């Protein structure tokens, strides 16, 4: 029970204090460079996508009860268009902590537009995401884009069980804002 309380306090603290746009963009630039360098065909794949949602630091932890949280940016043609958080909770047999980078690539304009129009998008409900597992020597630039949305997990540190985006919530955020700041700003408008 103490661990569940710690996780809920940690994740709510992380969600309450969003990083600045500059901080997010610096981390996203680094994550994209790492992805393009480490993954054969990564540059070509990213350039063929209609848009990419990049979360450079997603923290996932659990002990029976778990959760994950991260902040990132949606980029279209290399330009930052909107900032998002990723969050999910889970119950069941799980133990450990992990930090990883996620890239979600929109292969179709329709899938990208549906995501951008949504007010809180949930994987598996609002759209199916194909998780790409690549091995040594496999060139992901050759993916034929038959599915509308692809996800990549890389730069993983720590030890945690399986990976799934099912039920993960993507929410638009205002970089650098805090819950308290937002309440004050809403009162003054």
Tell which residue, 184, 164, 154, 173, has the closest CA to residue 24.
173
Least confident of 6-15, 27-36, 63-72, 114-123: 6-15
Tell which residue, 185, 139, 163, has the closest CA to residue 62.
163
**Terminal C-alpha separation, the chain:** 41
Q: For residue 67, what pLDDT is reported?
A: 79
Give the per-residue SS3 of 63-81.
Answer: EEEEEEEEEEEEEECCEEE
| Residue 63 near residue 3, CB atoms below 8 Å | yes
Rg (CA), the chain: 17
Is residue 175's pLDDT more than 60?
A: yes
Query: Token pair for residue 133?
Result: 């597992």
Euclidean distance between CA atoms 1 and 180, whole angstroms: 28
Tell which residue, 29, 179, 14, has the closest CA to residue 103.
29
Of the two residues 33 and 185, the one the predictor is more confident about is 33
Is residue 146's pLDDT more than 60?
A: yes
Name the band, by pLDDT with cuts 50, 70 and 90, for residue 170.
confident
Euclidean distance between CA atoms 33 and 114, whole angstroms: 27
| Residue 101 near residue 35, CB atoms below 8 Å | yes
Name the band, by pLDDT with cuts 50, 70 and 90, for residue 50.
very high
Tell which residue, 100, 117, 136, 124, has the closest CA to residue 51.
117
Name the band, by pLDDT with cuts 50, 70 and 90, for residue 7.
very low
Across 13-148, the runs of DSSP E, i.e. the strands, are: 51-76, 79-106, 121-122, 130-131
| Residue 129 near residue 121, CB atoms below 8 Å | no
Q: For residue 60, what pLDDT is reported?
A: 82
């Amino acid at each position: 029970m103490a661990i569940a309380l710690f996780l809920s306090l940690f994740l709510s603290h992380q969600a309450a204090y969003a990083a600045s746009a500059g901080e997010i963009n610096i981390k996203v630039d680094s994550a994209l460079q790492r992805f393009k360098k480490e993954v054969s065909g990564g540059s070509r794949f990213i350039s063929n996508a209609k848009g990419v949602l990049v979360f450079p630091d997603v923290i996932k932890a659990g002990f029976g009860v778990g959760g994950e949280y991260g902040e990132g940016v949606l980029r279209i043609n290399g330009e930052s268009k909107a900032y998002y958080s990723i969050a999910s909770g889970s119950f069941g047999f799980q133990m450990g902590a992990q930090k990883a980078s996620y890239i979600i690539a929109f292969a179709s304009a329709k899938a990208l537009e549906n995501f951008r129009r949504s007010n809180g998008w949930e994987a598996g409900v609002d759209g199916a995401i194909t998780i790409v597992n690549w091995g040594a020597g496999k060139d992901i630039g050759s993916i034929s884009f038959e599915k509308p949305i692809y996800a990549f997990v890389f730069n993983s540190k720590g030890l945690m069980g399986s990976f799934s985006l099912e039920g993960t919530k993507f929410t638009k955020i205002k970089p650098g804002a805090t819950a308290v700041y937002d309440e004050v700003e809403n009162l003054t408008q």
